[in-house]
Amino acid sequence: MKKIMLLAVSLFILMCGSVSAHGITASEKKSDGLTIMVNGVEVKSAANHVTTDGKTYVSVRAFADLFDRTYTLSNGNKEVVFNDKKISNIFMKQDEPTAWIRDLADAVHAQQVSWDGKQEVYVLALPEGTIKITESVPAMGEHWSNPQAGDLPTGPIFGVHDGKLVFLEYMIAQDDFIKGVNHTNLAGMKGVPSPAVVQVDIEFQKHGHEGFEVPHYDIHAYFITDEEQQKIK
């Protein structure tokens, strides 16, 4: 059993990598202290700001860098093309183009954009095609995946709570470990920003559960602390 657990941990470490927007008014939020997060990774730029009509504008350069992508700026500094999407109404700030966060989120097919009321805008940008497949589960949150990609039941499965990414999950059948089956190059956070893994749970499901009804291991990499995890209802 110890050997199986060690194999599971090793497999997971190898696999891991290091939109409806809420209104945000100028009176509710100051530019100073504004935080923009994508999957829990901060979009850092002094150019990020809130316009007089209450829209959050974000550095196109900093946003594109998180996705390891480039953009082009029109000669008149009025339009950018990012990820094959044309975005107009560009504001130049700190000598760089900024765009409405919703437009940038749409360009990467983000699932949600939300504001937590504490000067933080959060973009949930999971791999394209990812949808919610279960409602919230205590100490875990909602489960999201792409049923059309053929990744299930192995995964990846993404945990989401209050619009924020909280874990990445894989499910490996016990029989696979016994027979020495390899699971290589599994999809995960490829192509989207990934926060740091804070803790990992490996749980044996002796009788399986809904969605995977055979004995297997649930491998969860949490991007939040255990204390934060246990507060999820």
- Mean pLDDT in the chain? 87
Q: What is the pTM of this model?
A: 0.83
Helix (H) or strand (E) holding 101: helix 101-107
Structural domains for the chain: 2-18+127-230 (3.30.200.270), 35-124 (no CATH)
Of 21 and 210, more confident: 210
The arithmetic mean of pLDDT across residues 45-62, rounded, is: 93
Model pLDDT, residue 119: 84
pLDDT band at 21 (very low <50, low <70, confident <90, very high): very low
Model pLDDT, residue 118: 67
Model pLDDT, residue 109: 97
The arithmetic mean of pLDDT across residues 48-76, rounded, is: 94
The β-bridge partners of 59 are 98
